[in-house]
């Protein structure tokens, strides 16, 4: 749609026209702000826990488990130095052999969700798929935070 609008503007005599082809989806997936009626409603990025424990591929599971539990968590996100999500440690993974490296123990390639998805939508999905938590990432895979089901279901219902 935007290419047609750009061409039409040029034909109407507007000389310096640019087409942001990736559009609003790309903008919102990068976690950038928007204006409008939906901007006031909570989204995945608003509710996701930003203080989720992080770890790297080469750490030992036992060390990570101790650290994670000491922080009161039962999950951790495996990231690289650019905070790109590589894996997830949920309760089952944290219970594995403590001598394993994280890259052996982790759940690789977890499903991730974009920051702009509404909490209402996330709640339905997490309940339907029995997800206790879900990583929220930008479109380039960088971690925004970990969304917990308990936080999602405690949000007020969307009245619209």
Q: Which is nearer to another protein, 8 or 124 (CB)?
A: 8
| CB-CB contact of 38 with 118 (8 Å) | yes
User: Under the criterion CB under 8 A, does residue 158 sit at the interface with another protein?
Assistant: no
What is the closest distance, in whole angstroms, from the C-beta atom of residue 18 to another protein in the complex?
Answer: 5
Q: How far apart are CA 118 and CA 134, in angstroms?
A: 13
Site mask, another protein, residues 101-130, x = CB under 8 A? ---------------x--------------
User: Under the criterion CB under 8 A, does residue 4 sit at the interface with another protein?
Assistant: yes
Q: Which is nearer to another protein, 30 or 54 (CB)?
A: 30
Q: Which is nearer to another protein, 9 or 101 (CB)?
A: 9
- From residue 85, alpha-carbon distances to 33, 38, 93, 99, 150 in Å are 22, 27, 16, 22, 22
Q: Count interface residues toward another protein (CB under 8 A).
A: 37
Tokens for 127?
Answer: 């309940």
Q: How far apart are CA 123 and CA 156, in angstroms?
A: 11
Q: Which of residues 22-61 bind another protein (CB under 8 A)?
A: 22-28, 30, 32-39
- How many Cβ atoms from other residues are within 10 Å of residue 110's Cβ? 19
User: Under the criterion CB under 8 A, does residue 159 sit at the interface with another protein?
Assistant: no
What is the closest distance, in whole angstroms, from the C-beta atom of residue 113 to another protein in the complex?
Answer: 17
User: Under the criterion CB under 8 A, does residue 9 sit at the interface with another protein?
Assistant: yes
Q: How far apart are CA 72 and CA 53, in angstroms?
A: 10
């Amino acid at each position: 749609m935007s290419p047609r609008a750009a061409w039409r503007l040029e034909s109407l005599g507007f000389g310096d026209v640019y087409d942001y082809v990736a559009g609003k989806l790309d903008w919102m997936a990068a976690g950038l702000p928007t204006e409008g009626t939906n901007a006031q409603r909570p989204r995945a990025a608003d509710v996701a826990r930003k203080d989720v424990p992080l770890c790297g591929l080469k750490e030992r599971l036992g060390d990570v488990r101790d650290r994670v539990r000491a922080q009161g968590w039962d999950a951790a996100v495996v990231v690289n130095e650019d905070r790109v999500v590589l894996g997830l440690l949920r309760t089952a993974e944290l219970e594995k052999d403590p001598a394993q490296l994280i890259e052996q123990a982790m759940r690789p390639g977890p499903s991730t969700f974009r920051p702009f998805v509404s909490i209402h939508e996330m709640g339905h999905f997490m309940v339907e798929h029995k997800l206790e938590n879900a990583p929220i990432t930008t479109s380039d895979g960088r971690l925004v935070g970990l969304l917990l089901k308990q936080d999602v279901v405690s949000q007020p219902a969307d009245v619209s």
